[in-house]
Amino acid sequence: MIAGATVSSYVLGIVMALLTLVVVTESLRRRRMRERHAVWWLAAGTVALVIAVFPRLLAAAASLIGVAVPANLVFFLSVFVLFFVSIQHSSELTKAEDQNRTLAEEVALLKARVDALSAPSPAPERIADAPAEGPEGAPLFGAASGDAPAR
């Protein structure tokens, strides 16, 4: 045991690490979390479990790196992991925003095309009321005689 630590603190560390691993694994199983997001949490839970089971490893790592208090090393590593999780989420958010913008533009173009295609066409009676002659009095195709214009 490390000086100042109690058995209950070790048990709490083990329980919390196991709880983290169980929650992440269950989230993966129920498809509430993707694998690429779970990697960081599984790594953190595994490291926390190893440190909780073998607390002298944390003290040895802290002294090897030159950190006076092992808990400070835990806080530093936690901030480090959360920093990378934040960067990962920021990059994925940027990709999602780009895809969202592209999809919105495509929907707007498709909506404009549908609106143009579903615009009301001239009523048949209006076509029947149209003059049978073209410019300068020339008969239109199929007008009056039903014949095609001469070529």
Asked whether residue 130 carries a pLDDT value surpassing 60, the answer given is no
Distance (Å, rounded) from C-alpha 66 to C-alpha 61? 8
Q: How many CB atoms lie within 10 A of CB 17?
A: 20
Chain centroid to CA 52: how far? 34
At residue 84, the pLDDT reads 87
At residue 151, the pLDDT reads 47
| 16: confidence class by pLDDT, cuts 50, 70, 90 | very high
Average confidence (pLDDT) over 126-137: 58
Look at the chain and count its residues: 151
Joined together, the tokens standing for residue 60 give 């040895």
Chain centroid to CA 81: how far? 20
Helix (H) or strand (E) holding 26: helix 7-29
The answer to whether 44 and 20 have CB atoms below 8 angstroms apart is: yes
Q: How many CB atoms lie within 10 A of CB 12?
A: 12
| 78: confidence class by pLDDT, cuts 50, 70, 90 | confident
Distance (Å, rounded) from C-alpha 94 to C-alpha 43? 25
